[in-house]
Amino acid sequence: MSSDMGKSIVCGTDFSPEAEGALAWAAAMARREGCEVSLVFAIRDVSVGSSLLGFEGEQIQFDTHRLREHAHAAMHELGVSIRPRILRGEPHQAILQHAREEDARMI
């Protein structure tokens, strides 16, 4: 048995058609490798005045709900375990950090 068994495949999404294709590929790889997909959406930190804090909170709630619903539907459609996760920060940095923390098989 490989020492990589159980590690996840990290797949970022922006909900675009291209991201859908990436998720389908990640799911196929996860089925083949016997692991799950960590589906991530990164939210850039907003560092402006407090007047936008309420909006930011609402947006995070919306994005979290959207990601969970998306992962749930994809899990049933693609036949693999998909764990949704919201990340904070610049997308490329947040996704790489998440992959390191997860000790992911691949991104």
The count of C-alpha atoms lying within 13 angstroms of the C-alpha of 99, restricted to the half-sphere facing its C-beta, is 16
- Following DSSP, what letter does each residue of 43-91 receive, concatenated? EPPP-S-GGGHHHHHHHHHHHHHHHHHHHHHHHHHHTS-EEEEEEES-H
Is the full-model pTM beyond 0.95?
no
Q: Name which of 50, 39, 51, 45 is nearest 9 in CA terms.
A: 39
Backbone φ, ψ for residue 98 (5° rounding): -60, -45
pLDDT tens track of the chain, all 107 residues? 344 555 899 999 999 999 999 999 999 999 999 999 999 999 887 655 545 555 577 888 999 999 999 999 999 999 999 999 999 999 999 999 999 999 999 99
Instruction: State the Rg of the chain over Cα.
Output: 15
